[in-house]
Amino acid sequence: MDRYAVIGNPIAHSKSPQIHAAFARQTGQTLSYEALLAPLDGFVRAVEDFRAEGGRGMNVTVPFKLEAFALSTRHTPRAELAGAVNTLAFGDDGILGDNTDGAGLVRDLIVNLGCTLGGRRVLVLGAGGATRGALLPLLDCRPATLVVANRSPAKADELVALFTPHAGRAALAASSFDALAGHGFDVVINATSASLSGALPPLPSGLYAPGALAYDMMYGRGDTPFMAAARTQGAARVADGLGMLVEQAAESFTLWRGVRPDTAAVLAELRRQLDAG
């Protein structure tokens, strides 16, 4: 039986085994999928052991995505630009590193939420790894404007410089949080980790255009702090990142197995479980 796993530290909370087991049942694929806790200083050894035991691929979560990039012998273009890997595929020719996070985000926005990105004004909050993984897939959707805003504008400037050759006709720009006041974006994506600690990015007023969507990459039971604040600040719709989690998993599954699962039922079940507490 083909073996797959998700590796991280911590890992007990991961929903990936449940998600991939559901994908396998749905598509008639025979495989096993487990969660592996790697020591903080033992990621490479854990991957090599799993591969030597016949493993075919792995998902990689915090804090090992940079190490996974370094371990990969070749990268997909989106992983190369992201500088981080969340999906490993083992083959006779080495280790392929991919980054499915941005593709999962875009698919959740467009397919699950019915959000148009082409020709829209898009704002991404934060300039860390989550943003870096999302920018190329977002730019591929041809927004009119894509602004990266960060508490430290210099980090946003670095990302804009890196991705400008891939911007096409989109106006790609960096910004501080303060300078966003009154700009009226159609889609605002929170890629900061603020919601994990119950905090909020220091955002000005006038951020949301009529009909705007506020999207938090984090998820939990009920609204995240960012979503709750967006409701009061004029966002017409809010959404969390649970759909992104499922869709990035589907991207990995498709890479490994050559068949794309239907995510709707899996997402609905996870949402039911989350809401039930």
**Are domains 2-99+243-276 and 102-240 of this chain identical in fold?**
yes
Burial 169-193 (b: 16+ CB within 10 A, else e): ebebbbbebeebeebebbbbbbbbe
What are the residues whose beta carbons fall under 8 Å from the beta carbon of 6, sequence distance 6 or more?
14, 16, 17, 33, 34, 35, 36, 58, 59, 60, 61
List, by residue number, the catalytic residues. 65
Spatial separation of the C-alpha atoms in residues 50 and 251, rounded to whole Å: 21
pTM of the model as a whole = 0.96
Q: Do β-strands 94-98 and 87-91 pair in parallel, antiparallel, or remain unpaired?
A: antiparallel
Q: What is the CATH number of domain 102-240?
A: 3.40.50.720
Contact 105, 98 (CB under 8 A): no
Contact 226, 190 (CB under 8 A): yes
Amino acid at 167: A
Q: Which of 274, 270, 277, 234 is CA-nearest to residue 108?
A: 270
Contact 222, 245 (CB under 8 A): no
Tell whether domain 2-99+243-276 is in CATH 3.40.50.880.
no
Prior bond to 153 cis, omega within 30?
Answer: no
Residue 194: per-residue pLDDT: 83
| pLDDT tens, per residue, the chain with 277 residues | 999 999 999 999 999 999 999 999 999 999 999 999 999 999 999 999 999 999 999 999 999 999 999 999 999 999 999 999 999 999 999 999 999 999 999 999 999 999 999 999 999 999 999 999 999 999 999 999 999 999 999 999 999 999 999 999 999 999 999 999 999 999 999 999 887 778 888 899 999 999 999 999 999 899 999 999 999 999 999 999 999 999 999 999 999 999 999 999 999 999 999 999 7
Cα-Cα-Cα-Cα dihedral sign, residues 187, 192, 198, 204: negative
Residue ranges at the known binding site for NADP(+): 126-130, 217, 241
Helices 16-27 and 264-276 sit at what angle, rounded to 10 degrees?
Answer: 140
Residue 72: per-residue pLDDT: 98
- Residue boundaries of the structural domains of the chain: 2-99+243-276, 102-240
Sequence-ordered alpha helix ranges (H) in 53-100: 65-71, 77-82
Residue 277: per-residue pLDDT: 76
Residue ranges at the known binding site: 14-16, 61, 86, 101, 126-130, 217, 219, 241, 248
Helices (H) and strands (E) in the chain, counts: 10, 12
The distance between the two most distant Cα atoms of the chain, rounded to a whole number of Å, is 56
